[in-house]
Structures are given as C-alpha cells and as structure tokens.
Amino acid sequence: MPSDGDPSTVEDSTRKPSAWASQLGAVIVIVALILWFVQMRKAPTNLLQRRDCERAYADARTAADTATVDQRRPLVGQATDTLTCRAFRRTDRLN
C-alpha cells in the first residue's frame, strides 16, 4: 500500500479547477474574437454610410436639398434598419 506522502495518491480534484479555468478562459477568448470579427465587419459599412451622408450634405445647396438628404438612407440596397442621414447628423457622427 502506498504511503500518504506518495504523489501518486493525490486525487485529481486538485487539478480540476485549473482545467475548468483554462476551459473558461478559452471560451472567453473565443467569444471575444467572434465579437471583434463582427465589429470589424460592420465598421467599414458604418464608415461608408457616414461618408455618403457627409458628401450628400456637402452637395446640398438649398434647405430643400438638405431636407431630402435628411430622409435618405446612406447606402442604396441596405436594410431598412440602417440609420438615415438625419440620424447620423443628430448623433454627431458626421464631421
């Protein structure tokens, strides 16, 4: 029978928390990477929308032109949940 001081008798319970911690850390890293990729995919679209509105406001010569730009969705073919140029202007996202 092995003695109590023998390292082979140490239960695996002392190693389990570190295994759980490393698995939890891996899950957190994976979720962070997914969120980062989603954000990076959306960032260029936001930049294009903002620039499109900035150009449209710069080209507007009259108040009627500005009102037309206010109602405009920045990129043609985008979903209806995209912001209008007025929303970009109100949130100070335009230069």
**86-94: long-range pairs with CB below 8 Å, 24+:** 88/49, 88/50, 88/53, 89/53, 89/57, 93/50, 94/50, 94/53, 94/54, 94/57
The total number of structural domains that make up the chain:
1
Q: Is residue 6 part of a domain?
A: no
Q: Is residue 28 part of a domain?
A: yes
Q: What pLDDT is stored for residue 62 in this prediction?
A: 92
pTM assigned to the model: 0.49
Are the CB atoms for 54 and 19 separated by under 8 Å? no
- What is the extent of the structural domain holding 35? 16-90
Q: Is residue 2 part of a domain?
A: no
Q: Is residue 11 part of a domain?
A: no
Q: What pLDDT is stored for residue 81 in this prediction?
A: 59
pLDDT tens for each residue of 63-95: 998 888 888 876 665 555 567 888 878 877 676
Q: Is residue 49 part of a domain?
A: yes
Q: Is residue 38 part of a domain?
A: yes
Q: What pLDDT is stored for residue 10 in this prediction?
A: 52
Average pLDDT of the chain is 76
